[in-house]
Amino acid sequence: MHEHEAKARICSLLKAHNFSIKDVRGLPTAFVASYGKGRPRIALLAEYDALEGLGHACGHHLISGMSTLAAIGLTSIVGPSAGTIAVVGCPAEETIGAKALLVKKGVFKSMDAAMMIHPADKTEVVKLSLSLERFSVVLKGISSHASANPWNGKNALSGMLSLFQAIDVNRITLPDGNRINGIIKRGGSAANIIPDRAEAEFFIRAKDLESHAVLVKRFFTMVRGTAHAFSLGYEMKRSGNVYYPLEPNMQLARIFEKQLKKLRVKVDRFFTDKELGSSDIGNVSHVVPAIHPTIAITGSSCPAHSEAFKRQANKPAAYRIMRTGAMLLALTAFELYKNKALLLNIKKEHYIKYS
Ligand SMILES: [Zn+2]
C-alpha cells in the first residue's frame, strides 16, 4: 500500500494517452483509468507492488507494464465509441490482497471481462491458484524464573511448538491441495524466563472455498485444543482479505492461446493445477470472466520471490517479453471489442457457473 510513485508514473503515462483517471476511496494507491465509452468494458489489471526487503522479485513491474502498454495500444485500434478500455490499478497483491477490496467496492461490477499476465519461468495459459487466508495466533502464558521457580510459569512457547506439531500431524490426513504454513514471530525474550507470550503467523490455503472453510475450522480446533492442553490463553486474528481460488474463463483462455500461437510464443502447458500459489485475481474471477496466464521470462526453472528471479525480471529480455505480453493482452481484448457474440458466450460461461 505504499505504491505512490508507481501509481503516479503509470497514471501520468495513461493521462498523456487521453485516459481519464479515477481514484478508489479508501485505497489511495489504487486507480481506475478509462478511455472511450459504453460497453464492452474490458479491464486490464495492473499490479505494481514489490516484496518487502526483496524488491520486484515477483515481476509485478512487468505486469503493470504489460497492461498499461496493452491499453495504450488498444486506443489506436478501438475507436472511442466502440467500448471502454479500462486499466485497474491493483495495489498490495502480496500483502492484503487489495483486489478483494476492489471487488467489494464494486469496481468490477460494470466490467465485461478482466485479464492480466504474470511473468514466470513457464508460459502457461491456465494455471489455477489456491485460496489464501492469513491468521496471526498469540498464545498467552505466565512468566516466571526459568530456574528458580519454573513451576509458577505457564510456557507459551512450549504451547506454540506443540501447535506446530499438531499441524504437522494433521497434515498427513489433509485433502490434496490443502496447505498450512506458519512461522513463529516471537517466542520469548530471554532464556532464563519462562515465555509468557508466543506469536505466530499462518497461511491457510485450499483448492476451493468449501474445503477452505473446513480447513480453517480444523485449524481453529488445533489452536483452541493446544491452548486448552497447556492452560494458555489465545488470540486469533485474520489479517488481510481471503483470496479466492482462480476460476479461469476457459473460452477467454482459448482466445488468449490463439494469440500466443499468432505471435509464435512457445507454450509450456495449456493447463496446470500443479505448483500452485495464490493471487487475489481469484476474487475478480468470481465476479467477472477473467484469465491470469503466465509468460516465461527465464530460460530455465527459476521460481519467483527469489534474488535470481528479480535479476531475470530486470534484464532487457524481460522488457522485450513485457512488450510481447502487452500485444497478447491487446489482441485478446480486441477480439472481445470486435466480436460481441464471442463476449456473450464468455459471459454465459461465467453466468452458468455463478448463477
Ligand atoms: Zn506475483
User: 137: domain CATH number?
Assistant: 3.30.70.360
Report pLDDT for 23: 98
**Cβ 116 vs Cβ 288: under 8 Å:** no
The residues, ordered by sequence, that sit 6+ positions from 113 with a Cβ below 8 Å of its Cβ are 40, 42, 43, 249, 252, 288, 289, 290, 333, 336, 343, 346, 347
CA of 36 to the centre of ligand 1 (A): 29
Asked whether residue 207 falls in the same domain as residue 320, the answer is: no
Which amino acid, one-letter code, is at 48? Y
CA of 275 to the centre of ligand 1 (A): 14
Task: Compute the mean pLDDT over every residue in the chain, rounded to the nearest whole number.
Answer: 96
Asked whether residue 254 falls in the same domain as residue 233, the answer is: no
CA of 220 to the centre of ligand 1 (A): 28
Report pLDDT for 172: 96
- The number of CA neighbours under 13 Å toward the Cβ of 242 is 13
Residue at a domain's end among 242, 267, 293: 242
CA of 273 to the centre of ligand 1 (A): 17
CA of 177 to the centre of ligand 1 (A): 19
Average pLDDT over residues 276-289: 96
Asked whether residue 252 falls in the same domain as residue 158, the answer is: no
Residue at a domain's end among 190, 223, 242: 242
- The CATH number for 94's domain is 3.40.630.10
Domain of residue 27: give its range: 4-129+246-354
Give the pLDDT band of residue 80 (cuts 50, 70, 90). Answer: confident
The residues, ordered by sequence, that sit 6+ positions from 168 with a Cβ below 8 Å of its Cβ are none
- For residue range 163-200, list pLDDT tens digits in order: 999 999 999 999 999 999 999 999 999 999 999 999 99
- Angle CA 26–31–34, to nearest 5: 140
CA of 305 to the centre of ligand 1 (A): 8
| Sign for the pseudo-dihedral over CA of 172, 174, 179, 181 | negative
Strand partners, 136: 201, 237
- For the chain, percent of residues with pLDDT exceeding 70: 100
Which amino acid, one-letter code, is at 9? R
Report pLDDT for 79: 82
CA of 219 to the centre of ligand 1 (A): 26
Asked whether residue 314 falls in the same domain as residue 330, the answer is: yes
CA of 187 to the centre of ligand 1 (A): 30
Report pLDDT for 27: 97
Asked whether residue 230 falls in the same domain as residue 267, the answer is: no
The residues, ordered by sequence, that sit 6+ positions from 114 with a Cβ below 8 Å of its Cβ are 42, 43, 44, 45, 88, 108, 281, 284, 285, 288, 289, 290
Asked whether residue 314 falls in the same domain as residue 183, the answer is: no
Asked whether residue 155 falls in the same domain as residue 78, the answer is: no
Give the pLDDT band of residue 49 (cuts 50, 70, 90). Answer: very high
Asked whether residue 103 falls in the same domain as residue 141, the answer is: no
Check pLDDT > 90 for residue 354.
no
CA of 108 to the centre of ligand 1 (A): 20
* Euclidean distance between CA atoms 58 and 277, whole angstroms: 12
Q: For 20-29, 285-294, 299-308, which range has the lowest pLDDT when averaged over its residues? A: 299-308
Report pLDDT for 9: 98
Check pLDDT > 80 for residue 355.
no
CA of 94 to the centre of ligand 1 (A): 7
> Which of 319, 337, 238 is CA-nearest to residue 62?
319
Report pLDDT for 81: 85
* Euclidean distance between CA atoms 242 and 201, whole angstroms: 15
Average pLDDT over residues 73-99: 94
CA of 56 to the centre of ligand 1 (A): 9
Asked whether residue 183 falls in the same domain as residue 231, the answer is: yes
Asked whether residue 98 falls in the same domain as residue 141, the answer is: no
DSSP 154: B
Asked whether residue 250 falls in the same domain as residue 333, the answer is: yes
Place of cell 486474528: 237
Residue at a domain's end among 242, 276, 303: 242
Report pLDDT for 299: 85
Cα separation values, 307 from 48, 118, 199, 238, 320, Å: 18, 17, 28, 29, 20
Check pLDDT > 90 for residue 69.
yes
- For the chain, percent of residues with pLDDT exceeding 90: 96
Domain count, the chain: 2
CA of 277 to the centre of ligand 1 (A): 9
CA-only gyration radius of the chain, Å: 23
- The number of CA neighbours under 13 Å toward the Cβ of 156 is 24
Check pLDDT > 80 for residue 28.
yes
Asked whether residue 237 falls in the same domain as residue 250, the answer is: no
CA of 295 to the centre of ligand 1 (A): 12
Give the pLDDT band of residue 21 (cuts 50, 70, 90). Answer: very high
